[in-house]
Amino acid sequence: MAEEKIRILIRSPNWLGDAIMALPFLENVRLLYPNAYIAIWCKSYLVDIFKAYAGIDEIIIYSKRLKDLWNIRLRRRFNMCFLLPNSFSSAFSALLSGVPERIGYLIDGRRILLTKGVKPKTGLHQVDYYLNLLSNLGLKPRNFTPTLNILPEGNIEKEKLKRRFKWKDAPIVFIPGASYGSAKCWPAERFAKLAEKFKGIGRAILILGNIQERSIAQKIVQSVSNASYIIDLTGLTSLAGAMAIIKNASIVITNDSGLMHLTAALGCPQIAIFGPTNPKRTCPYGNTTEIIYHPVPCAPCKYRICPKDHTCMKAVKVEEVYEKAINKAVLC
């Protein structure tokens, strides 16, 4: 088939951070198939990410409903589908969507659903894990740093919030939550002590996160005396709005989270605190992130809630984060 007629569907990972770490894969697919029509198949909450990425032709919201799968089968008629999630359901959906060539890792009992299966390789950074799919097809992927643009609607949202809460440009941003679970979270009381140390700088501190993380933000605010310079924005922003706020930040302090990868893709300076996860596997690409990580005997682990004393995160001291943040921040 002539290259210009190739229609490629890429099933996106489901987690925000993984979706951003998949951007170099998308860059390579575009490089390898420059004239192809490329669509991303993603969950609805990731749409803003792919709208902010310039290398695809269409965004299709992922749904398991037979009606939606049949619509893809009849109207879009893709030639191949790259499956970045490892789930059985993602491969089964691609089969029901009528994509004749289905490429993914041989995992979760889905060998029968794939036309080209690749044995998974352990120990790779997540970016390289996705690129390994291409390498095993005889292709030669290149290294790319994930990059995103700001969406106009995100800037509008940021300006509305800025007028409402009255903060000045280049605020400090705290991202104290992590969707995976509290095991990845630096203690709220330490974020509060860090906020106290930042008080003399004269910058607003904005706390970002989803509505489920508001309790963490409130604990930080309540633990700080005269916390008028701390603005809790948890649950008040869309992903596009959060991107615009992060892009304007002087420094971002975050845990290992999806917003950590988002911050890196926006090229914003940040300090990322790791504990139960290994930064060699999931640290952001690029040179704008400084990692703080103190290995402990029980790490890495996969606990969502630490069953012990959260030793890995408590090993990270407030003074250490503050000093690195001051050196990294753009405070001009």
Measure the CA–CA gap between 202 and 58, rounded to whole angstroms: 43
Candidates 127, 72, 125; CA nearest to 95 is: 72
d(CA 79, CA 4): 12
Which domains, ranges and CATH numbers included, belong to the chain? 3-135 (3.40.50.2000), 152-328 (3.40.50.2000)
Q: For the whole model, what pTM was predicted?
A: 0.92
Strand boundaries in the chain, DSSP class E: 7-11, 37-42, 58-61, 80-83, 101-105, 116-118, 172-175, 205-207, 230-232, 251-255, 270-274, 289-293
Are 88 and 113 in contact by the 8 Å Cβ rule? The answer is yes
User: What's residue 179's pLDDT?
Assistant: 83
Low-confidence ranges of the chain (pLDDT < 70): 1-4, 331-332
Residue 332's pLDDT is 45
